[in-house]
Amino acid sequence: MEKTNNIEVIAQNNFEKAALVVKKSGVRQAWESIGATVNQVGSMAMGLLMKHRDIDFHIYTDKLDIAESFKAVQKICANPAVTRMEYRNLADTEEACLEFHIRFMLDNEEWQIDMIQILKGSQFDGYFENVAARIKAVLTPETRHTILELKYLTPDDEHIMGIEYYQAVIADNVKTYPDFIQWRKKHPATGIVTWCP
């Protein structure tokens, strides 16, 4: 296992790989071709990408037209580097969205690209972009390093939402992985976490 003093190097390398995945996948161009607005959110947008190879986009359209959505997704899936695609229809829920999750291979590493198509003007329009902007605004070099280190120390088979790390470190000053485990027991995440600094 690499030493944690290499955390910043690992994060930068993963960011560069993720940027290459975004470019090669053509996600932005595919969605923009049907008139959608494409925003990057999540750990990559905040510079907090560590081991979990996951890239998040929120995509906004005036209506959730499934046929139109699949025109965009079809362009992405035409790339031979795409190995799988999953789709969920949540249009009739409070989330008012369609979810597309694709797996993309780059240099024998599998990346997940999460594309959440959200109805403009609905409850979560712009919400997570605001959360990401707030987190970036309050991050210090120390809290950023702590978040990256906690992500690094998380076992590969443990799925933890990014927002849990950010809330634990920024709001409650958690500094070590054992303390983070205890923090999670006291703050179980169910559904969408709406914490914002």
Q: What is the pLDDT of residues 87-108, one digit of tens each?
A: 999 999 988 999 999 999 999 9
Kindly state the average pLDDT of the residues 58-80: 97
Residue 4's pLDDT band (cuts 50, 70, 90): low
Tell whether the model's pLDDT for residue 81 goes beyond 60.
yes
The residues, ordered by sequence, that sit 6+ positions from 153 with a Cβ below 8 Å of its Cβ are 4, 177
The reported pLDDT for the residue numbered 189 is 85
Write the Ramachandran bin of 107: left for phi over 0, alpha for psi from -120 to 50, otherwise beta: left
Which residue, among 25, 28, 130, has the nearest Cα to 79 in the 3D structure?
A: 25
Kindly state the average pLDDT of the residues 55-59: 97
Other residues' Cβ atoms within 10 Å of the Cβ of residue 61: 19
Kindly state the average pLDDT of the residues 57-63: 97
Helix segments in 35-187, DSSP class H: 42-45, 66-77, 127-138, 141-153, 162-166, 172, 177-186
Model pTM greater than 0.85? Answer: yes
